[in-house]
Amino acid sequence: TENYPVLADGSLNTAYNPNEAEEIIVAKYTTTDPMKLSITQTSRAWSFPGYDAFIIIEWDIVNTDVIDYTDGMVMFFNGIAPSAFGLQRRYGLWNESSSTTRAREVYGRYNFTRWMSYVHARDGYPDPQFFDAWSTEGNRGGLNGPQAVGYTILHYDYENLQPKSMTTFTLPDTARVWDENGKFRQPYTTQQVPNRNVDLSASRAISYGLTLASRPYTSFDFKSTTATPKTDSTNWATYYSPSKATDPVVNQTLMDYWQGRAKPRALTSGNYSQTSFHYSSFGPYVFGKGQHLKFAVAQMVGYGAGVAADTVLRDAGGASSSTHQYYEPVITWYDSVSYPGLSALTGVRYAGSAYLKNNAHKLPWYVSGKISSADPSPVISLRDVADRAIQMYTGGDLVNYNRIQYDPQNSPSTGAYNISKTYIPIPAPVLFVFDAADVKNKLVWGPQVEGFTNLPNVQSAKAAGRIKAGLSHYIVLKAPEALGPWVRLDSVGIRDPRYYDKDPEYAGRYVLRDLASLLSENYYYAVISVDSLGGKSGMTNISYHPTQKGAVAALGGKLYVAPNPLILSSNFGGSTREGDIKDKIGFYGLPKRSTIRVFSYSGQLIGTVEHNSNTYSHEWFQISRNSQRIASGVYFYIVEDLDTGTRATGKFVIIH
């Protein structure tokens, strides 16, 4: 279901519901016999800056059988890794492997206060060649693997947990795993393990020891009955909680909460080396006939695991071998840190990066940062994103959960989006890009979003304080590639007389000309809305446009190939979706319908290109009809006008 505030034609969506996600995907499926469970999976996503880096997924599991099921477990599998591109740039290979150095660049971690399991690269994979170029403002950033990727548990079903009276549990931690209501303390397990490239059918709970007679790891035991503290208590107080010295009450509160709950595997050496397979399990449950069990998870990505202030914090995992019982520093891109055992790679003594230290480099354009002057808490790291996801799901205030325990047991069973306090920006307009006779592209958009706050359904959100300001202006952006660098073409005020209603062809709309666009070069454009508090819309209208002019009426005029000769690179600006821009050759002076045939010097047909467009040129990327890159040499071409039968010929030279 689409719930976008602006429709594809640029008009406002009068049915827009600000109390729901902008995109909702509902999937329904059933289990195979003999089990009869019906599952509804609902995924929600938003484009609001600060809330665009997570997807909230809710599951509603129903027993459709005529009998109750007992001893049931619910498990969520996640395959997560920070960046295959970063691996490729560093090692020349996309894939990971648990037996190679590539795998030893990735850590599996766990944050207790957010129930958050995640991975991050050791140092963000700084690019070996384009670091400086990609680090410029408005660009993608010089780190190729800055992502910390993970999930947080937003809600698990508590009511249907199987009572102690129905359960036989005989492991050493039996005495502490039951809560005051006689139910098993959750989670049952939390695992961060090496990738298992096996069929899903082999990933059954039993394969990983998830039976009531066996668990991979025992539960926390903080409470001593003697004068000697428990080992878990000593380790937690010594290595985990940085608030111990300043706030022992907080530290004790956290230990009381996790008493009897399962330890994550991240608290062992198993957190290290390609730990991209994560799962959390819950139970045991009674699946009563007709009963609903509900769960919710946020899948998230952030620019690093934390920000500068978070390096004093500790999460589980982060080392090959540990003197801190695997409670290691939160890794950020604000400074590098060093601690014993952080890597098994020879000569590697640090993790993290000083990429953002002292504002040495700007955040990449796709990181939200500060939302507005009315919502100044920046959204940068995975921790920031998790806090926003929790806020969106619970409908409550924004809370920093660094030292406050989030409890998914007592959260709503379905998202409280209707009472959300999240900041709603003025949406971006729909952008259209058109060719012009002088090949100076026309960027066109309407004024409809200027009336966004007048939509009937938006009035309640405005009254609730979620829409805090009206539209101030637009910012028009351009980039040679989708990842940047994005540069500002201009700032456009409301009904700006320089651009509004100036072009008779587009009456009542804004038209901005890109005076730097060149024939046959391809660009990306976007227009964002900015409110009077500095809040920005998402870049929801990124538009890719090949710069063209109209086709010739018929062959007979000037027909040519450029560049000619092509020496090493075409030197075209911008980018293209069709191939490598450096290999691009353009055929110019084409009619609407034509066939281009390319021949080798010996007369062999190399390739055929069909042109069927009201455009002046057609791009070709030196790929033969056998899907091979052509060699250096002299090539001949014949262009046939399919409407008149007229032919034109010529030649071009390729030098690799």
- Domains of the chain: which residue ranges? 23-219+260-418, 432-546, 560-655
Amino acid at residue number 51: Y
pLDDT, tens digit, for every residue of 358-377? 999 999 999 999 999 988 89
With contact defined as beta carbons under 8 Å apart, do 271 and 326 qualify?
yes
Q: How confident is the model at residue 489, as a pLDDT?
A: 98
Nearest to 39 by CA among 1, 76, 79: 76
User: Would you call the peptide bond into 565 cis, given omega within 30 degrees of 0 as the criterion?
Assistant: yes
pLDDT at 203 over 60: no
> How far is 5 from 461, CA to CA, in rounded Å?
13
Which string of DSSP letters, residue by residue, matches 573-620? -B--SSS-GGG-EEEES-BSEEEEEEE-TTS-EEEEEEEESSSSEEEE
Residue 418 has pLDDT above 50, yes or no: yes
Q: What gap in Å lies between CA 562 and CA 581, rounded to an integer?
A: 13
Asked if the model's pLDDT at residue 564 lies above 70, the reply is: yes
Res 293: pLDDT: 97
According to DSSP, the residues that pair with 28 across neighbouring strands are 40
pLDDT at 212: 53
Q: Sort strands 647-655 and 566-567 into parallel, antiparallel or unpaired.
A: parallel
- H-run or E-run covering 296: strand 292-303
Q: Which helix (H) or strand (E) holds 282?
A: strand 277-287
Q: Distance between CA atoms of 587 and 609, rounded to whole angstroms?
A: 10
Contact 56, 298 (CB under 8 A): yes
| Three-state DSSP class for residue 88 | helix
DSSP letters of 209-231? T-BTTB-SS-B-----SSSSPPH
Share of residues in the chain with pLDDT > 90 (%): 66
What is the pLDDT, as a whole number, of residue 540?
95
* The predicted structure's pLDDT at residue 201: 43
Give pLDDT, residue 209. 45
Asked if residue 619 lies in contact with residue 578, where contact means CB atoms within 8 angstroms, the answer is yes
Region of 378 (left: φ > 0; alpha: ψ -120 to 50; beta: rest) is: beta
> What is the model's pLDDT at position 208?
45
pLDDT at 317 over 80: yes
438/518 Cα distance (integer angstroms) = 9
Q: What is d(CA 562, CA 590) in angstroms, rounded to the nearest whole number?
A: 13
Maximal CA-CA distance, the chain: 99
- pLDDT for position 7: 97
Residue 302 reports pLDDT greater than 70: yes
Task: Give the pLDDT confidence score for residue 473 in this predicted structure.
Answer: 98
pLDDT at 100 over 80: no
Confidence at residue 80, expressed as pLDDT on a 0 to 100 scale:
85
Decide if 300 contacts 147 (C-beta within 8 A).
no
SS3 content of the chain, % helix, strand, coil (to 5): 15, 35, 50
Q: Of 464 and 139, which is predicted with more confidence?
A: 139
Residues 6+ positions from 630 with CB-CB distance below 8 Å: 606, 607, 622, 623, 624, 654
Mean pLDDT of 307-335: 92
| pLDDT above 80: residue 196 | no
Closest among 595, 622, 590 to 606, alpha carbons compared: 622
Per CATH, the number for 432-546 is 2.60.40.10
DSSP for 94-105 reads S---TTSTTGGG
Mean pLDDT lowest among 65-69, 233-237, 383-387: 233-237
CA angle 399, 138, 392 (to 5 degrees): 20
Beta strands in 508-592 (DSSP E): 510-513, 522-531, 543-546, 560-562, 566-567, 585-588
Distance between CA 567 and CA 635 in Å, rounded?
Answer: 14
Distance CA 547, CA 503 (A): 19
Q: How confident is the model at residue 198 (pLDDT cuts 50, 70, 90)?
A: very low
Average the pLDDT over each of 83-97, 238-252, 607-621 and give the range with the smallest value.
238-252
- Quickly count: other Cβ atoms within 10 Å of residue 354's Cβ: 14
* Among the ranges given (128-132, 172-176, 450-454), the one the predictor scored with the smallest mean pLDDT: 172-176
Number of H helices, E strands in the chain: 6, 29
pLDDT at residue 99, rounded to an integer: 54
Provide the b/e sequence for 306-333 (b: ≥16 CB within 10 Å).
Answer: bbbebbebbbbbbbbebebbbbbbbbbb
Compute how many other C-beta atoms are within 10 angstroms of the C-beta atom of residue 28: 10
- Assess whether pLDDT exceeds 90 at residue 443: yes
Confidence band (pLDDT; 50, 70, 90) for 161? very high
Distance CA 107, CA 329 (A): 12
CB atoms inside a 10 Å sphere around CB 39: 14
Give me the mean pLDDT over the 599-624 stretch: 92
Look at residue 572 and tell me whether its pLDDT is greater than 90. no
Whether residue 289 is predicted with pLDDT greater than 80 in this model: the reply is yes
- Weakest mean pLDDT among 90-94, 537-541, 564-568: 90-94
pLDDT band per the 50, 70, 90 thresholds, residue 271:
confident
Q: Could you tell me which residue, 168 or 650, shows the higher pLDDT?
A: 650
Q: Tell me the per-residue pLDDT of 42-82, one tens digit each, with 9 for 90 and over.
A: 999 999 999 999 999 999 999 999 999 988 889 888 888 77
Question: CATH code for 560-655?
Answer: 2.60.40.4070
pLDDT, position 102: 67
Would you state the pLDDT for residue 611? 94
Span 211-231, average pLDDT: 80
Q: CA 127 to CA 121: how far, in whole Å?
A: 13
Strands 37-45 and 54-63: antiparallel
Angle CA 57–58–61, to nearest 5: 140
Model confidence at 505: pLDDT above 80: yes
Compute the distance between CA of residue 303 and CA of residue 124 in angstroms, rounded to an integer: 10
Q: How confident is the model at residue 238 (pLDDT cuts 50, 70, 90)?
A: confident
Rounded to an integer, the average pLDDT of 340-364 is: 93
Q: Is 518 exposed, middle or buried (0-12, 13-18, 19+ CB in 10 A)?
A: middle
274 pLDDT band, cuts 50/70/90, is: low
Examine domains 432-546 and 560-655 and report if their fold is the same.
yes
Q: Are 343 and 320 in contact (CB under 8 A)?
A: yes
Structure tokens at 127: 């690019």
pLDDT tens string 101-116: 667 888 889 999 999 9
**CA 269/CA 165 separation, integer angstroms:** 36
Q: Does residue 120 contact residue 304 with C-beta atoms inside 8 Å?
A: yes
* Chain segment 510-531, per-residue pLDDT in tens: 999 999 999 989 999 999 999 9
Say what the pLDDT of residue 483 is: 93
Per-residue model confidence (pLDDT) at position 412:
96
* pLDDT of amino acid 276: 76
| Amino acid present at 567 | I
The mean-pLDDT minimum among 92-101, 195-204, 432-441, 547-556 falls in: 195-204
Average pLDDT, the chain: 90
Residue 64, classed as helix, strand or coil, is coil
